[in-house]
Structure 1
Amino acid sequence: MLKNDTKIGFIGTGVMGKSMVLNLLNAGYPVSVYTRTKAKAEVLIDNGATWKDSVRALASDSDVIISIVGYPKDVEEVYFGENGIIENAKPGTYIIDMTTSKPSLAEEIYEKAKKKEIHALDAPVSGGDIGAKSGSLAIMVGGDKEAFDVVLPIFEVMGSNIILQGKAGAGQHTKLSNQIAIATNMIGVCEAIVYAKKAGLDPVRVLDSITTGAAGSFSLSKLAPRMIEGDFAPGFYVKHFIKDMKIALESAEEMGLSTPGLALSLKLFQELAEKGEEDSGTQALIKLFDSTI
C-alpha cells in the first residue's frame, strides 16, 4: 500500500497534466515534474513540485511515474531507450501512462517493464480540463489487478470514475471507444446549435431544455455553452483529438470494423485543423457549421 510520502514523478504538464499535478500536491504527495519546456512547469514548481531536468533523473528518483504526453511517438521517447523510464526506474516502481495512445504500445511497455520488475499500467482519461481541475476524471485502466490496487489511492486524487478494464492495452481500447462515441456526438451538437439559431431560437434556452433529456452528453452540457459564447480555448486540443481518432480508426480497421461516423468526424476535424484551428479546443468544430462565427 502506498503512503503519502510516496514519491511521484510526473511527465507532461499541459492542459490536463498541470491540474492533475496540482491535485496530487494538494493531497500531500511529493511530486517531481519534467517537461520539455521548464517554463510550462513554473506554476507547479511555485506550488511545491520539484523540477527534474531529464526523464532519467525523474525516473531514478520516483516510486510512481505518471506520464501524459502528446502522441505515441512521445510515449516511445519517454519510455524506451537508455534515457527512458524503463531503463532508469528502480525495480518495484509503478509506471502509469495516461496518454491516449496505441493499445499495442501499451502492451509493449508492459512486457518490457515486466522484464525489469517494473509494474506498468495504461490509464488514459476523459473529462477534459474541467475534469482534471475538479479531480473527477474518468480513468480507464489496463494491466494487472495487483498493481491497480496499489496505485488506486493516487487515481482517486485525480478521478472519480476509475475502472480496471482488463489486461495491458485494455485501458487504451476503452479510451478509443470513448473517443468514437464523442466523435459523432460533436457533429450532432454543432448541428443542433446551428439549427436552433436558424429557427430563431435562443440557443442558450434550447440547451436548458435538451441537456437533461435523452440528448444529454458532456459535449452538449460542457462544450456547447463554449460554442455559443465563442470560447474556443482548448480544454482538449483539436490536434490531439485528430490523433485519437486516427488511432481509433486504425485499430477498428485492424479488427475488421466499419466506423463511418468516426471517419466522417475525422474528415471534418482535419478540415478544421487545415483552417488554422489545430490548437483550438474541439468545440471549435462549430466554425465549420456556422458561417457567422
Structure 2
Amino acid sequence: MTNAHVRRVALIGCGIMGAPIGGHIMDAGFDLTVHNRTRSKAEGLLARGAHWADSPAEAAADADVVLTMVGYPSEVEDVYLATDGLIRAAKRGAWLIDLTTSSPQLARDIHDAAEVEDKHAFDCPVTGGEQGAIDGTLTLIAGVSEAEAAPVLPVLESFSSKIFYFDQPGGGQTAKLCNQVSLASCMLGYADALALAEQSGIDQEKVLEVMASGTGGSGASRTLAPRSLAGDYKPGFMVEHLRKDIALALRRSEDLDITLPGAETAFTLFDMLCQIGGARMGTQALTLLYQDEATCAAAGLDWSLLDRDEYADDGEDGCGCGHDHGDGHECCGHHDHGHECCGGHHHDHDGDHECCGGHGHHDHDGGCRCHHEDR
C-alpha cells in the first residue's frame, strides 16, 4: 500500500486525547470515521464532517488505517481480538495502530493475529498529554521499524512532532512504560520537594525556580508542579490511567524478576489517591496527599473511603482496583492518615509485605482498574 492509497481513516476512542487527534487527521485531509462508546464525545468531530459508526467493526470496514485510543488493555483486547473485533473486521492490507498505553505482550499478540489475516498491526503509544494532542505535537513511540511504518506516516505525522521507532512488536509499549516509570518518580520528587518547602515556611514557587536552574528539575516539575501549586487538578492525564501504566510496568518487572522501588512507591500513592476519590483528577493531584483533610475534602477527596472493610462489597474487587487482596494484603498498606497522608502517615511495611511488587496482576491489565475511561 503506497501513501497515496491511505485515504480513509477510522478512529476508535474520542476522549481527552482521541478527539483532538481526530481533528488533526481531518485537517490533514483524510476522510475520518469515528466510533466512541459515548457518542456525545464525538459530536465535535461529527460536526466537522466525520462519519459516525455504531461499532468498531463498522468503523473499520472500509478504512485504510484504523487508530485506537481507549483506556485499558482489556478494552484493547476486546476491540481487536473479539470475534467481531478489528482483526476480523478490517479489510485486507489495512493498518491497525493502537495508541493506547497497554501491555507489551498484548501488542505482540495483536501483531501476530493481524499478520495471519493479511493485515498490519503495531503498537504506537503516545506521550505529551492533552495539550500535546490539542497542539498536534505528541511524541509517538512505535513498535515497528521506520521503513515498515512508511505507508502510514502521513497519518501519524498529522498529530505528532516526533516519532521513535523500536523495531519490534511490543517495543513501543515497553518504551512507554519506561517513560511512565520515570514520570511517576519525577512527580513524587517534586511533590516531596514542595511539601518540604511548605512545611519549612519557604516560597514553593522559588523552590521550583531553583530546581529548574539546576539538575533537580524535570518535565513534570516544569509543567505539572505549577498546576499543583495553583490547585488546578483538571485532568490532562488522569490518575487512574497513570496508576494503570505503573501497574503494567510492575507486571513487566515481575516477569523479568527485577525490582522497581520507585515505581512501587508511586503505585502505592497513586492507588491511594484513586481510592479516596481522585481517580479521574489530573495526576498533579498527587500533592493533595500531602495536605490536611480539610484541603483534601475541599478538592473532593474523602479519606474515610480508606476505612472501609477490606472485603466490603464494592463491585467485583472490593476496593474496585482489581488487586488480589488475599493473604491479608491491603491495597495501600496500613497507614494513619489523621492529618497529612504524606507529611505524617505511617505505612506498615513490616514482615514480608511488599507495598506494590506483591499485588496480584491479572491478564493484560496489570490488575488495576477502578474505572473504565468514558470514551
Is the partner of 1:233 in helix, strand or coil? Answer: coil
> 1:246: which partner in 2?
247
1:68 pairs with 2:66: no
Q: Is the CA contact 2:6–2:64 (under 8 Å) kept in the aligned structure 1?
A: no
> 1:180: which partner in 2?
181
TM, length-normalised to structure 2: 0.75
Aligned-partner Cα distance in 2 for 1:212–1:52: 50
Displacement of 1:275 in angstroms is: 0.7
Q: Is the CA contact 1:71–1:101 (under 8 Å) kept in the aligned structure 2?
A: yes
Give the superposed CA RMSD. 1.5
Q: Partner amino acid for 1:243?
A: K
Q: Partner amino acid for 1:93?
A: A
Matches within 5 A, 1:74-93: 74-93=75-94
Aligned-partner Cα distance in 1 for 2:137–2:215: 23
Aligned-partner Cα distance in 2 for 1:209–1:48: 48
**CA deviation digits over 1:77-97, x for unaligned, max 9?**
110123211101111101100
> 1:200: which partner in 2?
201
Name the CA shift for 1:290/1:47 in 2 (closer, same or farther; >3 Å). Answer: same
Displacement of 1:182 in angstroms is: 0.9
Q: Partner amino acid for 2:51?
A: T
Q: Is the CA contact 1:120–1:143 (under 8 Å) kept in the aligned structure 2?
A: no
Displacement of 1:213 in angstroms is: 3.0
**CA deviation digits over 1:127-170, x for unaligned, max 9?**
11111111111111003544312212222122112011121000
- Please say which of residues 171-180 and 42-51 is displaced more in the overlay: 42-51
Show structure 1 runs of 5+ residues with no match: none
Q: Partner amino acid for 2:134?
A: K
Displacement of 1:4 in angstroms is: 8.8
> 2:117: which partner in 1?
116
Matches within 5 A, 1:148-167: 148-167=149-168
> 2:262: which partner in 1?
261
Aligned-partner Cα distance in 2 for 1:209–1:27: 42
Q: Is the CA contact 2:191–2:287 (under 8 Å) kept in the aligned structure 1?
A: yes
Is the partner of 1:150 in helix, strand or coil? Answer: helix
> 2:32: which partner in 1?
31
Q: Partner amino acid for 1:37?
A: T
Structure whose alpha-carbon radius of gyration is higher: 2
Identity between Structure 1 and Structure 2 (%): 38
Q: Partner amino acid for 1:122?
A: D
Aligned-partner Cα distance in 1 for 2:285–2:232: 8
Aligned-partner Cα distance in 2 for 1:250–1:5: 37
Q: Partner amino acid for 1:211?
A: A
> 1:216: which partner in 2?
217
Q: Is the CA contact 1:93–1:118 (under 8 Å) kept in the aligned structure 2?
A: yes
Aligned-partner Cα distance in 2 for 1:4–1:41: 26
Is the partner of 2:97 in helix, strand or coil? Answer: strand
Is the partner of 2:63 in helix, strand or coil? Answer: coil
Paired residues, number? 293
Aligned-partner Cα distance in 1 for 2:230–2:146: 44
Q: Partner amino acid for 1:141?
A: A
Aligned-partner Cα distance in 2 for 1:7–1:201: 56
Q: Partner amino acid for 1:82?
A: T
Aligned-partner Cα distance in 1 for 2:151–2:290: 47
Matches within 5 A, 1:96-111: 96-111=97-112
Displacement of 1:194 in angstroms is: 2.0
Is the partner of 1:25 in helix, strand or coil? Answer: helix
Aligned-partner Cα distance in 2 for 1:46–1:209: 47
Name the CA shift for 1:4/1:110 in 2 (closer, same or farther; >3 Å). Answer: closer
Displacement of 1:202 in angstroms is: 3.0
> 2:309: which partner in 1?
none
TM, length-normalised to structure 1: 0.95
1:44 pairs with 2:45: yes
Aligned-partner Cα distance in 1 for 2:58–2:29: 22
Displacement of 1:212 in angstroms is: 4.4
Runs of 4 or more above 6 Å deviation: none
- Please say which of residues 211-220 and 163-172 is displaced more in the overlay: 211-220
Q: Is the CA contact 2:243–2:270 (under 8 Å) kept in the aligned structure 1?
A: yes
Displacement of 1:192 in angstroms is: 1.5
Aligned-partner Cα distance in 1 for 2:151–2:202: 52
Displacement of 1:22 in angstroms is: 1.2
* Greater share of residues in helix: 1
Show structure 2 runs of 5+ residues with no match: 297-375
> 1:140: which partner in 2?
141
Q: Partner amino acid for 1:180?
A: V
Aligned-partner Cα distance in 2 for 1:263–1:207: 25
Q: Is the CA contact 2:20–2:134 (under 8 Å) kept in the aligned structure 1?
A: yes
Aligned-partner Cα distance in 2 for 1:231–1:46: 30
**CA deviation digits over 1:189-248, x for unaligned, max 9?**
111222222333332333234224322322111111110111111111111111111110
1:130 pairs with 2:136: no
